[in-house]
Structure 1
Amino acid sequence: MAETLGDVLVRLRRKRGWTQQQVADAYCNATGSVTKDAREVGRWERGTRIPVPFARCHLAAVFGVPVGLLDRAAAHSRSARDQAQEALPQRDSDALTLNPADMGAIHTALTGGLVRKPPRHVDPALIPYFQAQLLGHYEADMMLGPLSLLDTVEAQCRLIGNLIDQADGSTRRLLAEVGVSYATFAAWLHLDAGHPATALPWHDVAQEMAHRSHNHEAVACALVDRAMARTDQGSGAAVIDLCDAALMDDAHLSAEVLVFALQQKAHGASLIGSRKEVDELLDRASRAIGQVDAEIWGTACLRTPNYVEVQRATCYGRLGLAAEANELWEQIIPIAPSKSRRDTAVWSARQAVASAALRDPERAVDLARHAAKVALETGSARTVRELSSVATAMRPWQAERIGQDLAEVLAPIGRGAPHG
């Protein structure tokens, strides 16, 4: 039987040999609060009061456990009515479906709306701390995949949201800038894990933080990140409109953000079938990328070798230009660094589709085999989705031995050659 949140808190406290007052003291040290005492901890343990998401985030930090553990226990503890009003979305291996009421409750929780505190001093030194942490998360994501990082990134983003509400002046705005990067990264992790519904509230958080930062580049980045999600939905017009909004003041954008917006708009152009616009946008992005000297907004334009040509190959594949896409992948994939293995798996799956279109099924299966191995190791739903396209492209050979080989390759990830 699943534990209630009270049961979990009692177990964690006893494991540390703490009293309820020691838990309260540790919680107050973590949050700067002076309002918690042993009586409140006792209410949490008895289940007469459920800690709100902000409190669960800090309790998880106090005990050194994933916040998801406490969130799931909280969901088990409360009534269905309480869940609709307070709970964060619970994550499992399947994509989630949320109604508008759920989305509003999630957004309230994510933005710290359930907790209001008077302003207090927030040390500006926290800003470089969070920035350094985020750079480490980017590196880890490339090697581990989304499932290993979701709880950590979400918890830190919620903490930043609370600090924004407590800070003043320039510190508040700089924290909001950092928060944009965390929120958009959280959205990306949800997308890569195959949970598009739970990515949307994080995009909303990013938009709010961007506007609170008073930084037009933050707003532009949040718009382009939302356009990325719309690309996954196949909505070319939405992608183009969002990127055009980000580019409205392009003369005042840094080279990094300009490249980010141009390449994403190219994806929108590929969705509506315009190769000419794809090439024009990516050629412009290619000229601008040489002027990028740092990734302030974490756009991956420097972390990903051949960044613009990766986008071009992807767009060409979407446009059905198999020969052109395959030629680019042949140049890109062999020189990709080992730490980019998950990205390389996605690219290999895309090249496999091109190989099948070029009537080279053996090469397609070899590429799919590599991609499937990495998909299993990292839990990347993005790679699995690309491999589904390989199965479709290989339909002409599904009755042959090579088609059976592909089915064996894809079976462990729950994909196979389509029937009919």
Structure 2
Amino acid sequence: MTFGEKLRALMAERGISQRRLAAQVPCDDGYISKLINGRKRPSREIAERLDGLLGAGGGLAALRPRLPAKRAARVELSALGLAAAVQAASTHRGPVAPELADYFRDQLAGHYRADRYLGPLRLIPTGLAQYELLCELANAARGTLRPRMWALAAGYAGFLGWLYQDAGDIGRAVYWHDVMLERAHRSHDPHLVAFALHGKAMLHADLLDGHGVIDLAGAALVHADALAPKVRVLALQQMAHGASLVADEGARDECARLLDQAAALVDLVDDEYPWGTACLTPHYLDIQRATCLVRLGRASEALTIWERIIPELAAAGARRDVGVFRARQAQAYALNGEPERAVTIAGEVVDAATGTGSVRMVRELQGLRARMRPWVTEQPGRLLAEMLAPLEDT
């Protein structure tokens, strides 16, 4: 049985229509049709998402069509490269200079800044090379320098997880977030371990797994009083995202409570960690609040926030981040019954997604398509479909 045939059979068995399934992914129902008919090859993320939604227990995801031989070979070589990094960890000889820790720390902080402007594709090769070298140095280091080097290796692994997540390669993102957690434990730094759990929670938020987000962010906050304020801010805002995804009764008030707790801690953030600095960027918690409100269908409340903060964020020039936020703003306009304004913004986001390679932007645009379904046969809906057509294979 092919992937499409299995998908069709599961939908019939569960009594779920293409439109309803597409809304849950979310994606366009035409995309579901193409999967059923074998005209599209699903990404690993989509295959796993559909498998979970249909309760296939891995049976559907296992039928995802294989890559052509040449591309499969490139993927295999890349995976071997990751394994080689572990093997290379014992090749360094001689003492490790403590100054290297400061060097790699400064480099990582710079990478996080650059990511806001460049997107993932340009930074992954550099991150991989530096991670491999850090593993080599960490294994050779002794005394108090050794956990410092493992902490930096964990930071680079988390950064790679984030880059792959932004690029839409969920399989590699999962791998690197798991690597980060293992390296964080080697560092003996409880703040870094909690930050690694926050990273995994963020990944589950992108997978729309609200309960998973709450589980992981809750684990990060088990010893909250002992954690650095930065880590608590990050974990609390992930708890809010989890609450908005689960959307139980009272979710809006719970999100507000968690984000208010985080806001009370932001001014206390004062550490030298090179990771997690996003919480210090302008309007960070406003962004999280507006995102949660869109998920909960509170369009007018979300728009009040987006319209206040988007101009300042755009002026800062972080094209990738602003593209994601603008797509969410467009979703709020669609929810608010303003399809023309939503489509106007979508056009700007499509250009940014093409320029940065950010699949997160594409996913937000797919979410907009689902919210624009009431106008699918009208001019705004047709214009949006035309805009998004070049991104369908992303």
Normalising to structure 2: TM-score of the pair?
A: 0.76
Distance 1:217 1:293 in 2: 13
**Residue 148 of structure 1 aligns to a residue in which SS?**
coil
User: Which position in structure 1 is the counterpart of 2:32?
Assistant: none
Conservation of the 8 A alpha-carbon contact between 2:88 and 2:132: no
Separation in structure 1 between the aligned mates of residue 260 and residue 139 of structure 2, nearest angstrom = 42
Structure 2 equivalent of residue 133 of structure 1: 107
Residue by residue over 1:389-419, the C-alpha shift from the partner in whole angstroms, topping out at 9 and shown as x without a partner, is 1111112222222222222322332389xxx
Q: Is the 8 A contact 2:106 2:274 kept in 1?
A: no
CA contact (8 A) 1:106 1:201 kept: no
Correspondence for 1:292: 269
Match for residue 378 of structure 1 among 345, 356, 359:
356
Aligned with 1:234: secondary structure? coil
Matches of 1:415 and 1:398 in 2, distance apart? 20
Match of 2:319 among 341, 351, 362: 341
Please give the alpha-carbon distance, in whole angstroms, between the structure 2 residues aligned to 1:413 and 1:294: 40
Moved more, 400-409 or 235-244: 400-409
Task: Identify if the C-alpha distance between structure 1 residues 300 and 320 changes in structure 2 by more than 3 Å, giving closer, same or farther.
Answer: farther
Aligned residue number for residue 219 of structure 2: 245
The residue that corresponds to 1:116 in the other structure is 90
Which residue type is aligned with residue 307 of structure 1?
Answer: Y
Change (3 A) 1:412 1:163: same
Structure 1: 4+ residue segments shifted above 6 A: none
Unaligned stretches of 5+ residues in structure 2: 1-68
How many residues in Structure 1 have an aligned counterpart in Structure 2?
Answer: 321
Which one of the candidate residues 197, 218, 234 is aligned to 2:208? 234
Residues 295, 391 of structure 1: CA spacing in aligned structure 2 closer, same or farther, 3 A cutoff? Answer: farther
Deviations 1:296-346 (A, max 9, x none): 242133452111111111111111211111111111211114332211111
Structure 1 Cα separation of the partners of residues 308 and 95 of structure 2: 52
Deviation at 1:107, TM superposition (A): 6.4
Residues in 1 aligned to 2:154 and 2:188: alpha-carbon distance in whole angstroms: 12
What is the DSSP-based 3-state SS (H/G/I as helix, E as strand, rest coil) of the residue aligned with 2:148? helix
Give % identity: 44
- The one-letter code matched in structure 2 to 1:88 is S
After TM superposition, the structure 1 stretch with the greater mean CA deviation from structure 2, 284-293 or 402-411, is: 402-411
Distance in structure 1 (CA, Å) of the matches to 2:234 and 2:84: 29
Amino acid at match of 1:202: W
Whole-angstrom CA distance in 2 between matches of 1:382 and 1:249: 31
Secondary structure of the corresponding residue to residue 183 of structure 1: helix
Q: Residues 211 and 254 from structure 1, CA distance in 2 versus in 1: closer, same or farther, beyond 3 angstroms? A: same
Q: 2:291 aligns with which of 294, 310, 314?
A: 314
Deviations 1:33-56 (A, max 9, x none): xxxxxxxxxxxxxxxxxxxxxxxx
Partner of 1:88: 78
Distance across 1 between alignment mates of 2:152 and 2:88:
22
Q: Pick the aligned partner of 2:119 from 126, 145, 148.
A: 145
- 1:216 aligns to 2:190 (yes or no): yes
**Structure 1 Cα separation of the partners of residues 277 and 349 of structure 2:** 21
Whole-Å separation in 2 of the counterparts to 1:294 and 1:403: 48
User: In 2 relative to 1, CA 265–109 (structure 1 residues): closer, same or farther, beyond 3 Å?
Assistant: farther
Which whole-Å deviations, capped at 9, do the CAs of 1:89-137 have from their partners, x for residues lacking one?
A: 3xxxxxxxxxxxxxxx776444x13653476311110111111111221
Q: 2:332 matched to which residue of 1?
A: 354
Contact 1:295–1:301, Cα closer than 8 Å, also in 2: no
Equivalent AA in structure 1 for residue 306 of structure 2: W
Q: Confirm or deny: 8 A CA contact 2:89 2:135 kept in the other structure.
A: no
Residue identity opposite 1:156 in structure 2: Q
**Which structure has the larger Rg?**
1
Structure 1 regions of 5+ residues with no counterpart? 1-74, 90-104
- Kept after mapping to 2: 8 A contact 1:153/1:182: yes
Aligned-pair distance for 1:227?
0.8
Tell me, in whole angstroms, the C-alpha distance in 2 between the residues paired with 1:188 and 1:375: 16
1:204 aligns with: 178
1:107–1:204 CA contact under 8 A, matched in 2? no
Are the counterparts in 1 of residues 279 and 285 from structure 2 also a CA contact under 8 Å? no
Q: 1:182 to 1:114 in 2, by over 3 A?
A: closer
Q: 1:208 to 1:311 in 2, by over 3 A?
A: same
User: Partner residue of 2:385?
Assistant: 407
Q: Does 1:267 align with 2:241?
A: yes
Which amino acid in the other structure matches residue 371 of structure 2? A
Who is 2:164 aligned against?
Answer: 190
Secondary structure of the residue that 1:293 maps to in structure 2?
A: coil
Q: Which residue of 2 aligns with 1:398?
A: 376
